[in-house]
Homo-oligomer: A and B are copies of this chain.
Amino acid sequence: MARTFTRSRFAAPRLGWLLVVLWLLGALAWAGCAGPTPTGPEPAPPTLSSWQDGPAKEAIRKLVEQVSRPGSPTYLPPAARVAVFDNDGTLWIEKPQYIPTLFEFDHILRRAAAEPALREQEPYRAVLNHDFKSLLHRPVLDIVKMFYATHDGQTQAAYEQEVDQFFRTARHPRYKRSYLDLTYLPMVELLSFLTAHEFQVYIVTGGEVDFVRAVSPQIYGIPVDRVAGSYVAYQYQETDGGQIVRGGLVSFNVEAAKPANIQLFIGQRPVLAFGNSDGDLEMLAYTAGRKGPSLSLLLLHDDAAREYAYQKGAEKALDTARERGWSVVSMKNDFRKVFAFEP
């Protein structure tokens, strides 16, 4: 048959082009379906572009490769790739004051305004008079209990409304911005990077759990059920179609409470943990103690120009990190940008 084939001068180029076009359409169809979102082009995979190249970034890449590359001898199925992050000072700013504490001040002022009789009681009196000295001689746990007790009897709905209101109005004294803008860009990138590598990413914070849940989906892409924090006794009441009412402190989620609450909320030992203070030490040690690869990281606040420089409250964690070879991440040297709003 081939030898009887005769070409038209015009048919061949025309059909040739048609073949090329059809081939291109086919190729485009293939290219379009490489990603998990068949209805649109694949978004670029998250990178760590605001991290400087260096040992911290390298350690992160290495751990991710060790547990997620198929065929790796230390491969873990996605369900076992647990990563935990402290929040205050690790994912967002904690100076000059913890954001959850500022919310409690706000709440106390609001309540004292509504119920003048409270003004003579602690902690209302101290906060109204800016007399923090009289508070701070107490153990931290007592202060937290005292603050949380000001919500005793508050409905969960009212609490959530108050948290929303706080975030709508509060501004950072130095940056003159919403606290929602004061997350660390490289850390938010890291959350996305780990999620893209099918890690299960959680916040394990000393902050009150519902306070952080109010913003975690928006600012971190972390769903509310992936936040473990300090928590109060919830009580269910039948009234008004059923409601949750808040009680006193049950768990102040710092130090040894972090691994314990990781068991309660998450149910597995993490592979990667990131903290910044002595309150994270046990979580970092628990993670480092797992059999197989793990990565414990400590964020060092050493950048007074772009953020703050301080080591107070992190001395023990820093010493331990250096002793045990955990990754100390320098905000100054490892972060190309600290905040997304930087030029």
Contacts and interface: CB of A to CB of B under 8 A. Distances in A.
Given A33-B29, A231-B264, A265-B265, A256 B236 contact: yes
Contacts of A60: none
A6 to B, nearest CB: 5
Q: Which size bracket describes the interface of A in this complex?
A: 35 or more
B19 A10 contact: no
Contacts of A236: 256-260, 282, 286
Contacts of A240: 289
B286 A260 contact: no
Count identical subunits in the complex: 2
Contacts of A79: 217, 223-224
A4 interface: yes
Contacts of A202: 225
B242 A209 contact: no
Interface string A183-212: 000000000000000001010000001100
A244 B231 contact: no
Contact of A7 (B8, B18, B241): B8
B19 A227 contact: no
Interface of A: 1, 4-12, 14-15, 18-19, 22-23, 25-26, 29-30, 32-36, 38, 79, 156, 200, 202, 209-210, 213, 217, 223-227, 231, 233-236, 238, 240-244, 256-261, 263-268, 282, 285-286, 288-291
